[in-house]
């Protein structure tokens, strides 16, 4: 079995494309530093939220989740978000964990308030709504209707 020049060239092109794809995927992670200020929020449930998840305001990415910790006194999840320095968030804003469709990734949606006082670095968003477990809702709908 002879290897022709065309097979060698096609193989080299395929390997080049595969290496380029892996390089692009490795250098473009979803966890990026956003040069901004930190804001925290406490949620009762953060199922499916990961570090690096987007923080959005009106559907536009304004930051990312930088860490998640457990409050050992209340057993709530404390999420630290890094917000872009050019975006100011009113202090009476709310934050909720949303999902991109039925099987999409979770992100934090900020609903701006009406206050003229803006959150500063290290402050906390007080009004929060945790994640909704889709499987739990489906189970209640299916088995709850049978009762």
Q: What is the pTM of this model?
A: 0.70
Is residue 139 domain-resident?
Answer: no
- Confidence at residue 7, expressed as pLDDT on a 0 to 100 scale: 86
Instruction: Give the side-chain half-sphere CA count within 13 A for 133.
Output: 8
**Total domains present in the chain:** 1
pLDDT at residue 2, as a whole number: 65
Which residue do the tokens 């092109």 mark? Answer: 13
21, part of any domain: no
Decide if 122 is inside a domain. Answer: yes
Residue 8 lies in a domain: no
Q: What is the residue range of 128's domain?
A: 36-132
Q: Using CA atoms, how far apart are residues 48 and 29, in angstroms rounded to an integer?
A: 18
Q: Could you tell me the mean pLDDT of each successive run of 10 residues in the chain, 147 residues long?
A: 79 91 70 76 91 93 94 94 94 92 84 94 92 74 69
Sequence-distant (≥ 6) Cβ neighbours of residue 110 within 8 angstroms: 55, 56, 57, 62, 89, 93, 94, 95, 125
Residue 14 lies in a domain: no
Question: Residue 126 domain-assigned?
Answer: yes
**Domain for residue 80, yes or no?**
yes
**In-domain check, residue 62:** yes
């Amino acid at each position: 079995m002879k290897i022709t020049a065309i097979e060698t060239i096609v193989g080299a092109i395929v390997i080049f494309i595969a290496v380029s794809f892996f390089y692009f995927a490795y250098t473009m992670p979803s966890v990026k530093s956003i040069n901004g200020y930190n804001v925290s929020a406490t949620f009762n449930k953060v199922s499916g939220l990961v570090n690096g998840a987007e923080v959005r305001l009106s559907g536009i990415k304004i930051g990312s989740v930088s860490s998640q910790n457990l409050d050992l006194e209340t057993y709530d999840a404390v999420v630290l978000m890094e917000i872009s320095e050019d975006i100011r968030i009113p202090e009476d804003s709310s934050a909720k964990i949303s999902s991109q469709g039925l099987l999409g990734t979770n992100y934090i949606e900020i609903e701006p308030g009406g206050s003229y006082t803006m959150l500063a670095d290290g402050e906390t968003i007080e009004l929060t709504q945790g994640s909704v477990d889709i499987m739990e809702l489906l189970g209640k709908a299916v088995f709850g209707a049978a009762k």
